Chains A and B, each alone.
Chain A
Amino acid sequence: MDLIIRNGRIVDGTGLPAYQGDIGIRDGRIVSVGGRIPGTAAEEIDAAGRVVAPGFIDPHTHFDVQLLWDGQARPALEHGITTVVPGNCSLSLAPLKVEHRPRLVGMFQQIEEMPDAAFDGAFEWTWESFADYLTALRSKLAVNVAPLAGHSVIRLWVMGDAANERAANADEIAGMQELLRQCLEAGAVGLSTSFVDVDERLQPVPSRYAHAEEIDALAAVLGEYGRMLQVVPEFYATDITLARVDQLAELSLAHQIPTTFSPLFDSAANPDNISRVMARVEQQMARGARVWPQVQTRPIDISFTFEVASLLFAGTPGWYRTMRLPRDEKIAALRDPERLARLLEEAEPGGNTDRFRNMRVRAVARREDDILVGRSLGDIAAERDSTPARVMVDIALANDLDASFVATDLGHNDPARVGALLAHPMVHIGASDGGAHIQSFATYGDTGYLFSRFVRERHDLTLEAAVKKITADTARIWGIAGRGLLQPGFAADITVFDPDVIDRGDEVVAHDMPEAGMRYVRGSRGIDTVVVNGAVAWSAAAGGYTEARQGQVVTR
């Protein structure tokens, strides 16, 4: 054997109770599970006291561009993610004509917040077709990639500028069908579309101009291959989301395809949303439709700067008015002792500092203020013998307003409601958005948070159920064959972790994008080893990432 993982607590992805044993691997595949494997292997890992699980599958990512220079999809891999699905929300890097590259870059920058440098020299554009894109990707991969083809780029290819202007005619729809067919033949695991996203000009992305017959025609092609339709519905409006659930159900039934929509999240401001949407999902699933809502594990944080008026301040009219002033007037107002005193009294009436105390400094422009990043305003205020609101203003002014702050856990933050939702048998755990929004918040570590918060702390899911949700269930929903279970013959994608420790790390600023571009990331806690197609791709004992590049494009 090439690799034996010994003495582990095997959680095999089926949801059945864990059991002790060894796992043997040869030629990238699992050949033996359970019991004591005699003899030795070229490499052995002692997993005593650790869980040995199938590698986690992340079904909603935007790692498309990053994968071209970072085949490890950092830091997803160190969280135990062995397969990522890029190409969500109607956007993929292929199929794409040369002349449309600037358009796609604009859309990606808007959605992923990827800097210019990421597209300018960090990789070589060598493809137009989906097949050639996958060829460019294959040699670099440490993780597996199950790529979606994006509706917006398919539209752009067929319709050119008109893709952003109107519905397609019959010939154009036929052209899109043929192009999608080529993508699926090349290895796309489905099609993504969006009813929500906007481009860099804040105009609707091309997929949003499609009429229902165009989507139906493309779903018919998906039906030829039994492939997935991923959709971003109007998640901010419950009634429209319900209509989209119905639409997806009809497409699923008519063309015998799986569909998934994301995101679905809980909010105290719209408390009926989850129950209404899930009731409709249950209704449609009972008809035999496959409509999988994706739900994220992490709560939603809200970031803000003093440069732009955030609605977070709408509850304090004086602050909101000040935030809306032109820049120079705003700075003058904040420097004016009398006006500032009034603002402070409004924010902290009678010395009550609850409003801003738990907010944290997210980023600063001045190097000398780096030590403040990650700290709470309450903590800094205590150190300075000041108040949270006052230190927030001080930090903003000291950085010429180029400082950002974060209010954590403001949405999707009721653990009982979210825990029950995650455990629901018709909920597909996903929607991490890994690799997107990189300059706003970290989209990594949701799997660690699932185990720490909803398994270990709250017991909403058993360990076995949680593993099944993010491995075998995901593979089954997406039709990813031969992965997601620890069984002989399956790909040796394996995550070894300490169930008492696994978690997401703190959110930190990293400058690891091309040309030292910035993003927010989270490291992992409690992950020991990550194996991809039989090769150790990440090992805590070995110091982290390895040179292994055994990742594959996961096709049919």
Chain B
Amino acid sequence: MPAEPHDATPRIERALVAPGHDGSAELLLRIRYGDGSSDSVTLDAAAAERLLDQCGATALEQLVGQPWRRLLTVLEQSGD
């Protein structure tokens, strides 16, 4: 879902596959905050799968615009 012009909810702005230090592919997400600032979060393959499932996405592009709370849930599961 695309971000509203004045939406204060942090959302995924970009999703890219990136090489990890240990030779595995990782998912690098750019989060854009309501105040205009941004930050990156990296997910391993398992967490990335969970995020795609949670968002009902079949392609990385479909993650763009998703709210950050989706990510929070995925990261909480990583700590289980």
Contacts and interface: CB of A to CB of B under 8 A. Distances in A.
A410 interface: yes
B42 interface: yes
A309 B24 contact: no
A256 B20 CA distance: 33
B45 interface: yes
B41 A314 contact: no
B19 A440 contact: no
Contact of B48 (A235, A314, A317): A314
Contacts of A235: 21
Contact of B23 (A268, A270, A437): A437
Nearest to A234: B42
B24 A310 contact: yes
Interface in B1-53: 16-28, 39-42, 45, 48-49
Nearest to A265: B21
A267 interface: yes
A301 B21 CA distance: 9
B18 to A, nearest CB: 4
B15 to A, nearest CB: 8
Contacts of B39: 237-239
A309 B49 contact: yes
Contact of B25 (A236, A310, A440, A441): A310
Interface string A289-331: 0000000000011111000111110110100110010000000
Nearest to B78: A202
A263 interface: yes
B71 to A, nearest CB: 13
A311 B17 contact: yes
B23 A237 contact: no
Contact of B60 (A267, A304, A308, A314): A314
A19 B21 CA distance: 39
A300 B21 contact: yes
B18 A269 contact: yes
Nearest to A263: B21
A315 B19 contact: no
Contacts of B42: 236-237
A489 interface: no
A263 B21 CA distance: 8
A412 interface: yes
B58 interface: yes
Nearest to B59: A317
Contacts of A441: 23
A410 B19 contact: yes
A488 interface: no
Interface in A423-439: 437
A236 B24 contact: no
A440 B22 CA distance: 8
A64 B45 CA distance: 29
Contact of A312 (B16, B17, B21, B22): B17
Contacts of A311: 17, 24-27, 45, 48
A411 interface: yes
Contacts of B20: 236, 300, 302, 411
A236 B48 CA distance: 15
B45 A310 contact: yes
Nearest to A312: B25
Highest count of chain A CB atoms <10 Å: which of B20, B21, B27, B60: B21
A314 B28 contact: no
Contact of B28 (A270, A309, A317): A270
B19 A267 contact: yes
A237 B40 contact: yes
A304 B23 CA distance: 9
B34 to A, nearest CB: 17
Q: 4 tightest CB-CB pairs across the interface, nearest first?
A: A411-B19, A269-B18, A236-B42, A311-B25
Given A239-B39, A311-B26, A411-B20, 7 more contacts: A265-B21, A267-B28, A270-B28, A308-B45, A311-B17, A314-B27, A315-B60
Interface of B: 16-28, 39-42, 45, 48-49, 58-60
12 contacts: A236-B21, A236-B26, A300-B19, A302-B19, A303-B24, A309-B49, A311-B17, A314-B59, A315-B60, A320-B58, A410-B25, A412-B19
